[in-house]
A = this chain, B = another copy of it.
Amino acid sequence: MNIGIVGLGLIGGSVAKAIKQNTEHSVYGTDLKESVIYKAKLIEAIDDRLTEEILGICDMVIIAVYPGETIKYIEEHQKLFQKGCLVLDCCGVKEAVCGRVRSIAAENGFTFVGAHPMAGVEFSGFEHSQKTLFRNASMILTPEVDMTIQDMEKLKKLWVSIGFTNVQISNPKEHDRRIAYTSQLAHVVSSAYIKSPTAEDHKGFSAGSFKDLSRVAKLNPTMWTELFLLNRENLTEEISTMIRHLEEYRDAISQGNEKDLWNLLNEGTERKILIDKNTKK
């Protein structure tokens, strides 16, 4: 296949490197930064620049930029995709993107599939991209109901070949509801956690739990602001739930209520064990 990649940041760059490493497909990439395209070509992460001409012969186009930019790119290039081309985004929210792009795809005869690779590190940009980023990761796809099985098989094969061990089929609404918790709330909590004045004095007084809790506090504020605001309702609800639970712990502790506190901690432990067990099934 000829595969186009729009945006060679952490995700797009890693996809390009992984496809070149693991498959025989040709990869064409583009980025806002000329220097990134040049570098990607130099280290053979891409075969060549993705021009408008090459876009017309691509069998698949993977767009790895922010939600707003993704929609803009598709709007501006809608006439240039090959008929039957598989066009994917990589955004962390799906309703806002899929809802806008759906009709454009139908009108122009290409197939749009929402995609969210569940992988990342606390760094961004092509320089941090790596061909092994997706090893053992989960890929969430939110295809339209009329997508063919053949196209889905083609997609699954590609993702598995670059390291994903799980391809999860979902729909935009369900995706956004779950991601508000697993990913977005986790980032909010980490960001809030690091703001305690005591954080400055952690040196020598911290171990694994501090390290884990604070890791994703370092994030890309522009990207996450966009993602959070595109999933407002779900995320607001998750934060409120979290606050309610924290209040239960605080009240039990401040009142010295040993029984309640033990129950709260025990419930959390049992729940964590149960959830880990279900994951292994």
Q: Which of A168, A213, A236 gathers most chain B CB within 10 Å?
A: A213
Report Cα–Cα, A232/B246, bound state, in Å. Answer: 14
Is A146 an interface residue when CB atoms closer than 8 A count as contact? no
How extensive is the interface on chain A, given as a class?
35 or more
Inter-subunit contact A224/B191 (CB<8 Å): no
Task: List B contacts of A247 (CB < 8 A).
Answer: 243
| Residue pair A191, B279 in contact (C-beta under 8 Å) | no
Contacting pair A271 B217 (CB below 8 A): yes
* CB atoms of A206 and B182 under 8 A apart: yes
Set of chain B residues within 8 Å of A121, measured between Cβ atoms: 208
**CB–CB A265/B212 < 8 A:** no
Q: Contacts A212-B215, A235-B253, A275-B194: A119 and B182 contacting too (C-beta < 8 A)? A: no
Asked if A258 is at the interface (CB within 8 A of a chain B CB), the reply is yes
Residues of A241-281 contacting chain B, CB below 8 A: 241-243, 245-250, 253-254, 256, 258, 261-262, 264-269, 271-273, 275-276, 278-279
Q: Tell which of B175, B196, B215 touches A238, judged by Cβ atoms closer than 8 Å.
A: B196
Chain B residues contacting A245 (CB-CB under 8 Å) are 192-193, 195-196
Q: Is the CB of B207 within 8 A of A118?
A: yes
Point out the residues of chain B lying under 8 angstroms from A199, CB to CB. Answer: 181, 271, 275
A29 CB to closest chain B CB (Å) equals 24
- A47–B60 Cα distance when bound, in Å, is 67
Contact of A261 among B186, B201, B228, B267 (CB under 8 A): B228
**Contact indicator A219/B268 (Cβ below 8 Å):** yes
Q: Known contacts being A221-B265, A238-B198, is A190 close to B178, with CB within 8 Å?
A: no
- Does A96 make an interface contact (CB < 8 A)? no
In the bound complex, residues from chain B placing their C-beta under 8 Å from that of A196 are 181, 185, 238, 241-242, 245
A73 within 8 A of B: no
User: Any chain B CB within 8 A of the CB of A154?
Assistant: no
Contact of A207 among B183, B203, B279 (CB under 8 A): B183
* A239-B253 in contact given A199-B275, A222-B262, A229-B261 (Cβ < 8 Å): yes
Residue pair B204, A138 in contact (C-beta under 8 Å) = yes
Query: Which A residues lie at the B interface, using CB under 8 A?
Result: 118-121, 137-138, 140, 166, 168, 170, 175, 177-183, 185-210, 212-222, 224-225, 228-229, 232, 235-236, 238-243, 245-250, 253-254, 256, 258, 261-262, 264-269, 271-273, 275-276, 278-279
Besides the known contacts A119-B207, A192-B242, A243-B246, 5 further A-B residue pairs in the complex with CB atoms under 8 A apart: A166-B204, A186-B213, A187-B209, A213-B213, A239-B246
